[in-house]
Amino acid sequence: MKKIKLLLIFACLTLFSQAQKKLVPVSQSPLTGISLPAGTKQDSRLLSVMAGKALLETETKGAGLAIDKTEFLTIPATPDIQASMDSIKQLLQDAGWMLSPVQSGDAHYFWIDRNNIRLISYLSGSKKEISLYFGETTGQQNNSAQQNDPIQTDPSQNQPVVQTDPAVQYAHQNNSAGNPYQNNGQPSTGLSGITMATTNFDDGWVATPQSDWVQLSKNNLTAYLHYSIPLPEELISGDGDPILNYFWNLLIVPRYTLSNVQKLPFDPYAYKRTYFMEAIATENNSGQTLYLAFRILINNGIASCIEIKAGTKEEYTATVPDLDKMAALTNYNRFAISPADITGKWAASKGGFAQYYNVYNGNYAGMNAVSIKSQLTIGTDGQLLLEHNGAGGMVGNQQFFSEKYNGPYTLNNWDISFTDQNGKQTAYHAFYQAVKNGRILYLQNKQYSGQEYFFIKTE
């Protein structure tokens, strides 16, 4: 019956679409931030939006989620439809989105997650066009949906007391109840450049950047978010034991005397691979014996390792009951900005490409690529300058562009906003992520959550 209703909606769409003209050319997806192939149009016709949302809700309702913002895109078809759709998924992965299958197993649908934002996606191709739909979700996931997703992305599960991440702040941006974090103002170690170097989260976790990791503490637990490490070339294949053994020997063995070491069985065919070990460990520097849990998260060849130590395994599971909760600890690497450490020049760059091949003869048909470099200058005089320079399109026929925005800015610990030369005000969620010997300035547009930047300090 559900499918029949959808067919009726699409039949109505066919009959009335000619009367509606809201098909707008776009080069970038507002919700995801990815660059789009030439000729892509965003469809905001009423019937299209109604039908598309109904289509997305066939999956989100089963996961106990509602849809808030939506985006419906039509992309010109190519000779090799499957290759084009694969390139779209690759663009999402290159932009930092993590893809995972839906509970129903329908290959047209998939979840994408990044920085505690969860979108339902629909991708389907025909000889005429490729349909790409996104819906930003809100609400409480049920257990079946959580089992499909190895990283907890529901903000209410991650930080249940108060909004403590951009996704939650974005969903409740009209609520000006105050600062979701408290900072004790302790000076940094001198390595990160972060002035307010301790963040007290409302759910009890406390984060502090150290030379080799971000240290978290809560109750009787201590967790270390080791700074990211590229996978050695010989480990790129993704096999379980070699990767676990490499990082276990690199980060754990030199610091502990270990016994009862156990590995979670590794499934090489799983959509999301899990690398986890645990042991009884005695610290070499203190002689204390404790329970130790260790997990590796891998994204685009970069490993992020989480180490947790507790007095007993029972103490560990009381605070971190499953591997989803363990992975979610990476969201606590965030620290407030301040006038004392924000001024200067910051730079960011991003890009992506898609290669096309003729489906009939296999010949190479060209490459579509986009590259954007951004520079942010924050002055001590209260003025901000944001510049974008880039190129996009088929290689050999790319279009170059340059944009510049400048004007006065205001900031608090977790937000920055400025008014440009045209009088338009733009507001961003803002915080630092600590990295080895430094920091990244993260900005996320409050109106368009897919527009985000990862700046590094250059001057």
Starting at the earlier edge strand, list the strands of the sheet with 65-76: 23-25, 41-43, 65-76, 129-139, 117-125, 109-114, 98-101
For residue 101, the model assigns a pLDDT of: 83
Please give the sequence-ordered ranges of beta strands (E in DSSP) within 18-140, or none if there are none: 23-25, 41-43, 65-76, 98-101, 109-114, 117-125, 129-139
CA distance 384 to 377: 6
Residue 365 binned pLDDT confidence (cut-offs 50, 70, 90): low
Has residue 292 got a pLDDT over 90? yes
For residue 122, the model assigns a pLDDT of: 93
Region(s) of the chain under CATH 2.40.128.300: 339-457
Give the mean pLDDT of 115-140: 86
Region(s) of the chain under CATH 3.40.1000: 182-332
Angle, CA 197 vertex, CA 192 and CA 230 arms, to 5°: 40
CA distance 457 to 90: 28
Length of the chain equals 459
Residue 171 binned pLDDT confidence (cut-offs 50, 70, 90): very low
For residue 331, the model assigns a pLDDT of: 92
For residue 261, the model assigns a pLDDT of: 93
Angle, CA 84 vertex, CA 7 and CA 114 arms, to 5°: 85
Residue 271 binned pLDDT confidence (cut-offs 50, 70, 90): low
Has residue 352 got a pLDDT over 90? no
Which helix (H) or strand (E) element contains residue 157?
A: helix 155-158
pLDDT tens, residue by residue, 13-43: 443 444 345 788 998 998 998 999 989 999 8
State which fold the 339-457 domain adopts.
Lipocalin (2.40.128)
Residue 357 binned pLDDT confidence (cut-offs 50, 70, 90): low
Give the mean pLDDT of 176-185: 36
Tokens 């754990």 identify what position? 252
For residue 19, the model assigns a pLDDT of: 39
Lowest mean pLDDT among 140-154, 158-172, 405-419: 158-172
pLDDT tens, residue by residue, 194-226: 888 899 999 999 999 998 999 999 999 999 999
Task: Extract the tokens encoding 287.
Answer: 């002689």
For residue 360, the model assigns a pLDDT of: 62
| Mean pLDDT, the chain, whole residue set | 78
Give the mean pLDDT of 299-326: 93
| Residue 129, helix vs strand vs coil | strand
Give the mean pLDDT of 179-193: 46
In the chain, the percentage of residues whose pLDDT exceeds 90 is 37
The residue type found at 337 is: I
What is residue 75's DSSP assignment? E
Give the mean pLDDT of 437-458: 86
State which fold the 182-332 domain adopts.
Protein Transport Mog1p; Chain A (3.40.1000)
CA distance 6 to 52: 9
Has residue 187 got a pLDDT over 50? no
The whole-model pTM stands at 0.59
282 φ/ψ angles, rounded to the nearest 5 degrees:
-115, 120
Give the mean pLDDT of 448-457: 84
Strand partners, 371: 351, 391
For residue 278, the model assigns a pLDDT of: 95
CA distance 414 to 335: 8
